[in-house]
Structure formats: structure tokens, C-alpha cells
Amino acid sequence: MPRPRKPTSPFRYFNSSPEVICLVVMMYVRFPLSLRNVEDLLFERGIDLCHETVRMWWNRFGPMFAGDIRRQRVSRMRGFRQWRWHLDEMYVKLNGEMVYLWRAVDQEGEILESFITKTRDKAAALTFMKKALKRHGSPENITTDGLRFYGAAINELGNGEKQEIGRWANNRVENSHLSFRRRERAMLRIRRIKTLQKFASVYANVHNHFNQERHLIDRQTYRLRRSAALAEWQSLMA
């Protein structure tokens, strides 16, 4: 009887250890640091690598780590029906051209879905919502701003009674844009839609993983949750 094959390691062709690669990806995606900032911080800790190595590692391993985190969270939360979703879009400058980053955030501030389009209309909103509903299931309530294409898209999906519009009702997603804006400034500029889509998706999952809502819990609970999140991140190398 043939022996079952051992799964091949994604780090097998790299001279650096998986621990270093995991640390580099976490530092670049989680914190508002440039490629050269990460290079300098690692050099102070005795790790000498080029900023282009940082770029290559996040491009290669970032989607893999983010996919593992997303699959775990989706499997845990898919049956949860008390979700309140907040939908909004923000503009991002791409080679001097404005594109739109659509985001769905739940009532706890977790980023459920990120999607890039060149237009801001009913068709774009419909594509984005279909993607979010297919992956996460149907929420109990969908909060949007007053733009009419949201209502048209939600009605077409048969969820018109779930829509809620209010003056400050969508502050949850508006505030969640701030962390991505800080991260965007550190990157200086992005040249391709494909790269922006990849980074937005990876960033959303890493942000969710380490976002512990520290202002809502005591210090001891925060320390325990932070340690658990870091241990779970390190287990992704296995």
C-alpha cells in the first residue's frame, strides 16, 4: 500500500525560515509601513533583506495567509443571522485615475468583503452585493447611505425590506475607511487594479484577525486576545 504523500511546504524553495517570512508579511500588511520601513526595522533586529524581497513575500504569501483566515471565519460565522451589514464605497487614486473600493462591514467592525470597480452605479453595487451574499449568506439588516443605486440594487436582490438609511447610521463603515487610508498613504501609490484588489482583500482579513476592539474591553482581556491572535497567525505556517 503506497504511503500517503506529505503535503509540500510552500516555503520549500526559500532560504529564509517560515517564521521570518510570516513576520515580514504581518508587519507590512498589518501596520502602515512602507517596504523600506520594514527593511530597516528588520535590519535593526539582525535580519538583512531587500525591500523588494518584502514586496515579493507579501505578494506570494499574503493571499495564502489571508485565505486561511477568511475560510476559518466564514465557516464559523456563516450560520449567524443577527448580522447588520454596513455598505459604502471610497475612492482610491490609481495612476491619476479614480477607482472605487466597495466595502461591507458588520456591526462589530469586521470587513466582510472588498471589491474594486471603475464605476459607481447600480451595476457595480449589484456585482459587489452578489459577491458578499454568496460568500457570507444573507444578513438581517443592510445599512447604506442615501445614494439611489443602493436601493435599486437591494430591491433587485429581493432584500428591499432590509435596507436602512440614516444620517449617522453608516458611521461604522465610514470609520473603518480610516485605517485603510493610513495604509494607503504609506504605500504612496498603486499602479494596477489587480494589485489594489489583492492588497485590499489581504489587508481586510489581516485587519480583522488582529482587530480586538481594545477600547471596549479591559487590559487583561485585550492581552489574552492579542496573544491568541498572534499564536493563531503563527500557526498558519504549519
pLDDT at 50 (0 to 100):
92
Answer yes or no: are the C-beta atoms of 38 and 50 closer than 8 Å: no
Averaged confidence pLDDT in the chain: 86
Domain ranges of the chain: 18-76+212-237, 84-191
Predicted confidence (pLDDT) at residue 236 exceeds the cutoff of 80: no
Higher per-residue pLDDT: 167 or 176: 176
Q: At what angle do helices 18-30 and 193-210 cross, to 10 degrees?
A: 100
Cell of 7: 503535503
pLDDT at 71 (0 to 100):
82
- Average pLDDT (61-67) is 90
pLDDT at 101 (0 to 100):
93
Predicted confidence (pLDDT) at residue 238 exceeds the cutoff of 80: no
pLDDT at 9 (0 to 100):
78
Distance between CA atoms of residues 119 and 127, nearest Å: 12
Answer yes or no: are the C-beta atoms of 100 and 120 closer than 8 Å: yes
Answer yes or no: are the C-beta atoms of 82 and 140 closer than 8 Å: yes
Which CATH fold would you assign to the domain 84-191? Nucleotidyltransferase; domain 5 (3.30.420)
pLDDT digits (tens, 9 = 90+) for 123-164: 999 999 999 988 888 888 899 988 899 999 999 998 888 899
- Average pLDDT (61-82) is 77
Distance between CA atoms of residues 194 and 36, nearest Å: 22
Residue type, 184: E
Query: H/E element holding 183?
Result: helix 171-187
pLDDT at 26 (0 to 100):
92
Predicted confidence (pLDDT) at residue 41 exceeds the cutoff of 90: yes
Please state whether beta strands 84-94 and 141-144 pair in parallel, antiparallel, or not at all (unpaired): parallel
Give the count of beta carbons closer than 10 Å to the beta carbon of residue 159: 16
Which of 31-35, 118-122, 210-214, 231-235 shows the lowest per-residue confidence on average (mean pLDDT)?
Answer: 210-214
Angle, CA 99 vertex, CA 88 and CA 67 arms, to 5°: 70
DSSP 4: P
